[in-house]
Amino acid sequence: MRIIKVNEKYNGKKLSNFLFDNFDGLINNTFNKALRKKDIRINDVRVSENKTVYEGDEVKVYIVDEFLFKNENISEIEIVYEDENIVVFNKPTDIEVTGEKSVEKYAENLYKNQFIKPCHRLDRNTTGLVMFAKNEESLNILLDMFKNQKIEKHYRCVVVGIPKQEEKVLEAYLFKDNKKAMVYISDEPKTGYRKIITSYKIIKKDYDKNLSLLDIELHTGRTHQIRAHMAYIGHPILGDGKYGVNSINKIFKAKNQQLCSYSLTFDLNGENNRLSYLNNKTIKLKKCDLL
């Protein structure tokens, strides 16, 4: 948290102008997200819109320094697999896939003057495998594969509680509320809701802590799908501040959601293209750093 006072120069100016001038790493996306979450206070009053500030106002900003100040030197990100067409990184927590401080920026610095583009997304606090294409032809192939579920995606996560069934395919409908940056789940189809399919298998049970380690297969790739779907069935992901249980997160000191993208398998059967050599190949992390 940062506290700064408004000086004469910014008297009667918009909050955004004041903050952008004082924090060289702050971008519009981060600022707007902070407003939605009411993470900015003016004279100890939470604000949700771009207010006018006046000389002497005290502004408290509850945004981590990483997103306030420029830092070109993102620590080294592990490369899990690489060939002439693709590279797969092990994304750390608290880093976006795209944006000013992101895996994409890291990749652009690593492959200077070369084509390098992400093929899919992970939430900022989800760790694990994220794939980039090293040429436009591969990018188009991979985008089509992700869209048509031709890449099998598995995640590991720690959830609260012990599911009654050892494994299950879950089907529901998801609605994305862009204004609130939230998604909502329904068992029945509704206007604006899109079908989702998520399957899980229990890997480990901890009855003493009332936690389970799950393998999750993502059959459809909607925003916050795994987090919202597991919470909907009564087993939120440990450390998830949006869909989880904060009182339980505090008990385990879980500051980040315990969710990791750990396996990607290619299905290129019958296709003859630049990436055909990857058919049935699985790229997997040796381990996920979960509690």
pLDDT at 211 over 70: yes
Whole-number Å distance between alpha carbons of 65 and 81: 31
CATH architecture of the domain with residue range 2-67: Roll (3.10)
Average pLDDT over residues 207-228: 96
Q: Are strands 259-266 and 127-133 parallel, antiparallel or unpaired?
A: parallel
Residue 72: per-residue pLDDT? 53
Work out the mean pLDDT of the chain and round it to a whole number.
93
β-pair partners for 81: 88
CA nearest 232: which of 168, 180, 288? 168
Q: Is there a common fold for 2-67 and 154-257?
A: no
What are the extents of the domains in the chain?
Answer: 2-67, 79-148+262-284, 154-257
Please, are residues 251 and 283 in contact by the beta-carbon 8 Å criterion? no
pTM: 0.76
Q: Does domain 154-257 have CATH number 3.40.50.620?
A: no
Q: Per-residue confidence at 291, pLDDT binned at 50, 70, 90? A: confident
CATH number of 79-148+262-284: 3.30.2350.10
pLDDT at 79 over 90: yes
Whole-number Å distance between alpha carbons of 68 and 286: 33
Residue 101: per-residue pLDDT? 78
Residue 67: per-residue pLDDT? 80
Cβ density class 210-248: b for 16+ within 10 Å, e for less = ebbbbbbbbbeebbbbbbbbbbbbebbbbbbebbbeeeb
Give the H or E element holding residue 128. Answer: strand 127-133
Q: What is the pLDDT of residues 102-154, one digit of tens each?
A: 999 999 989 988 999 999 999 989 999 999 999 999 999 999 999 999 999 99
Residues 6+ apart with CB under 8 A from 191: none
Q: What is the pLDDT of residues 3-48, one digit of tens each?
A: 999 998 999 999 999 999 998 888 888 899 899 999 999 999 999 9
Residue 71: per-residue pLDDT? 58
Higher-confidence residue of 63 and 235: namely 235
pLDDT at 271 over 90: no
